[in-house]
């Protein structure tokens, strides 16, 4: 991936692993806790299974990235991108971003994620290319908002700005990682 390798094993890597997986476990418990206090949150076993699978996917991807690079900016960039993708999928599944969760227009967000994934693969997960992939993802996110506004589907610009900011923050961190990599010798 990017920069120096660091397997993240032993005591040195234990802290971030505990933080990532511990946070995921707490987040998975939040709906259950909310169900104890309100009837507006009514999750069944399938909801918890899907949410758990999403958390495992996001945390596992982050752990993989953290294990293959010692570049802190790269790790942060991956974390921000994964958080943005996770929130985008979660919101879409839970309530939908355009209309409700059953509105087929929400499938456009699969395209936003596809831009990021295809861009990352094309960049071979190298930080400079990853930065460009995140900028393209931000543009795809903005394009969905423009399409929704033109079609009159009722869309929030604040939410679009939030996601665009996350994608661009990830892009900036990837560019910082590329600079760190170049100063360290340039070899992945």
Contact 71, 3 (CB under 8 A): yes
Asked if residue 6 has pLDDT above 70, the reply is no
Contact 171, 134 (CB under 8 A): yes
**Distance from C-alpha of 154 to C-alpha of 145, rounded to nearest angstrom:** 9
For residue 156, what pLDDT is reported? 78
Asked if residue 11 has pLDDT above 70, the reply is no
Residue 147 lies in a domain: yes
Residue 2 lies in a domain: no
Is the model more confident about 186 or about 56? 56
Q: What is the H or E stretch that residue 18 is in?
A: helix 10-37
Residue 51 lies in a domain: yes
Domain residues for the domain of 139 are 10-183
Q: How many domains does the chain have?
A: 1
Question: Could you tell me the CA-to-CA distances from 134 to 6, 86, 142 in Å, in that order?
Answer: 24, 15, 12
* pLDDT tens by residue, 17-55: 888 899 999 999 999 999 999 998 889 999 999 999 999
For residue 10, what pLDDT is reported? 45
């Amino acid at each position: 991936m990017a920069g120096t390798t660091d397997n993240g094993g032993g005591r040195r890597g234990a802290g971030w692993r505990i933080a990532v997986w511990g946070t995921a476990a707490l987040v998975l418990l939040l709906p259950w806790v909310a169900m104890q206090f309100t009837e507006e949150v009514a999750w069944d076993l399938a909801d918890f299974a899907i949410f758990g699978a999403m958390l495992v996917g996001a945390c596992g991807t982050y752990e993989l990235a953290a294990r293959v690079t010692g570049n802190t900016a790269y790790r942060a960039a991956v974390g921000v991108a994964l958080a943005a993708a996770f929130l985008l999928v979660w919101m879409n599944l839970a309530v939908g971003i355009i209309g409700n969760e059953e509105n087929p227009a929400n499938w456009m967000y699969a395209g936003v994620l596809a831009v990021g994934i295809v861009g990352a693969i094309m960049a071979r997960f190298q930080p400079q290319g990853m930065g460009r992939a995140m900028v393209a993802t931000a543009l795809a996110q903005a394009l969905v908002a423009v399409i929704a506004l033109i079609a009159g589907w009722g869309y929030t610009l604040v939410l679009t700005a939030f996601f665009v900011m996350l994608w661009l923050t990830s892009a900036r961190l990837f560019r910082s990682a590329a600079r760190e990599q170049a100063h360290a010798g340039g070899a992945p």
